[in-house]
Structure 1
């Protein structure tokens, strides 16, 4: 799937509360010597425009925004990010998936339609996918606060893209961080 006018854009969700990690800013957590935000930005480095939804940091080349209200959940974050997307195709990625790489993103985009990463157990990883921007905007409820990503994205019938080992792991708890 390639976007018109120079490719695709990316929305990186970095505004979660990190409550199961003691309230830390997930984007600042270090994994393999780099922050989770650095891992996510590297994964979407091919994007024409990168929008990060979360507390602003000193990172060049990134457009920052916040969901309303802050902490409104991932659907609210996607809605906030989409307001700044210009390409016909958008990759949506959560900041807490250090196993997602630019190769993962290339595989999602190669499907040619909506696509979502699927873990080893067959579960969709709704915050690792490639979408037609217009369809994603239309799928969001008028008030996206608290809406489940499954309810928003499932009806778009994305093609499953099998995750490679470790690719779909996320960092939600101290045990996840230890892995």
Structure 2
């Protein structure tokens, strides 16, 4: 994973989970954020965009200004600390992500980005490896509340099929119950 940074978006409001701090929810006894950080071991730097959390070390913290601007604004805030040619971009609520997933995405990177495609055929925009310059060029001048799918969907993307459960994330209480 040489010359790879990582941006983990971990600042969402978790409205469908009554505002709980999703990245700290545990699946299999491990907080989701720790699962995601393990998946990007070897990346440098690792930037977590969201509120700082106790006990999470060896990362850089960033926040979009003002907070709550959505994933494109969070991505823009994280990109401000990236100096590598490639960057993994991951959500902070992923339960099935592994280091192998990130390595496969990096190996598949051909155009602007490589994105995991779930078992239903949907691109998972927050499970990808991207060329840093391509991401920077795609971010609009006003990133707050921009649609991630629209911003990234214009880029040349390589789809990478997910293995069973690899794209699993926690958006609802039912997701959490199913994954625990």
Query: Shared fold (TM-score greater than 0.5)?
Result: yes
Q: What secondary structure is seen at the aligned counterpart in 1 of 2:128?
A: strand
Q: What secondary structure is seen at the aligned counterpart in 1 of 2:149?
A: helix
| Counterpart residue number, 1:124 | 123
Q: Distance in 1 between matches of 2:157 and 2:65?
A: 27
Q: Which runs of 5+ in 1 are unaligned?
A: none
| Counterpart residue number, 1:37 | 33
| TM-score, normalised relative to structure 2 | 0.94
Tell whether 2:97 aligns with 1:97: no
Q: Distance in 1 between matches of 2:100 and 2:88?
A: 13
Q: Distance in 2 between matches of 1:112 and 1:12?
A: 19
Runs of 4+ in 1 over 2 A off after TM superposition: none
Root-mean-square deviation (CA, aligned residues, Å) is: 1.0
| TM-score, normalised relative to structure 1 | 0.95
| Counterpart residue number, 1:12 | 8
Q: Which runs of 5+ in 2 are unaligned?
A: none
Distance apart, 1:112 and its partner CA: 3.1
Distance apart, 1:68 and its partner CA: 1.7
Distance apart, 1:52 and its partner CA: 0.1
**What is the total number of aligned residue pairs between the two structures?**
175
Describe the superposition over 1:86-143 as per-residue Cα deviations: whole angstroms up to 9, x where unpaired: 1010000001111011000000000133100000111000000011101101101111
Aligned ranges 1:1-179 → 2 under 5 Å: 6-58=2-54, 59-113=56-110, 114-179=113-178
Describe the superposition over 1:42-63 as per-residue Cα deviations: whole angstroms up to 9, x where unpaired: 0111202100001102322100
Q: Distance in 2 between matches of 1:147 and 1:32?
A: 34
